[in-house]
Amino acid sequence: MSDTSKNVELFKEVMGNYPTGVTVVTTNTEDGVPLGLTVNSFASVSIDPLLILWSIDKRVSSFDVFTTTNKFAVNVLASDQADVCTLFASRVDDRFANTEWEQSKFGVPVLKNVAGVFECEVFNRVEAGDHMILIGKVVEIDSGKKEPLLYHKRTFGPIPSEFYSVK
């Protein structure tokens, strides 16, 4: 195994051991058709102004739509939405027909029963290797006041209850 291959495998191993939240990023095509995909590369960037970021693989079929849109929503999945995570990571043509959602006043599809939603206008796009980083300026926020879905070592689940105990 080459050093490069070994580093790629170690990178995947260490990153897979880093727990993250799970989101579904949504937007509309030019024709107004809702589009969404599962994303765990999501982070806050700034408080002033309110900025978030996520990244998309350049090989994803929806890459052109997401990198040319002017607005999107980041739906933070709730702990009981592993099925929604799987749905939006699948190759199902009409993912929105299989989940509850609505078009927001801001004009983007938002999923129902999520832990939270950040509706954003695109602030910046940054080339980053085989991905594009999309930075969004948050224009609307909704909290579902639910526990988030976590991704760790290729599995999904809620935050373990012992995590919350304070000693």
For each of the domains in the chain, give its residue range(s) and CATH number, in order of start: 23-158 (2.30.110.10)
Q: What are the b/e assignments for 43-59, b being 16+ CB within 10 Å?
A: eebeeeebbbbbbbeee
For residue range 119-133, list pLDDT tens digits in order.
999 999 999 999 999
Nearest to 68, CA basis, from 28, 18, 19:
28
pLDDT confidence of residue 121 = 98
What local confidence, expressed as pLDDT, does residue 13 receive? 83
pLDDT of the residue at 20: 83
pLDDT at 2: 75
Report strand pairing: 20-21 vs 23-28.
unpaired
Which residues does the chain have with pLDDT short of 50? none
The pLDDT score that the predictor gives to residue 3 is: 79
User: Which pLDDT score is estimated for 11?
Assistant: 84
pLDDT at 14: 84
pLDDT at position 70, please?
97
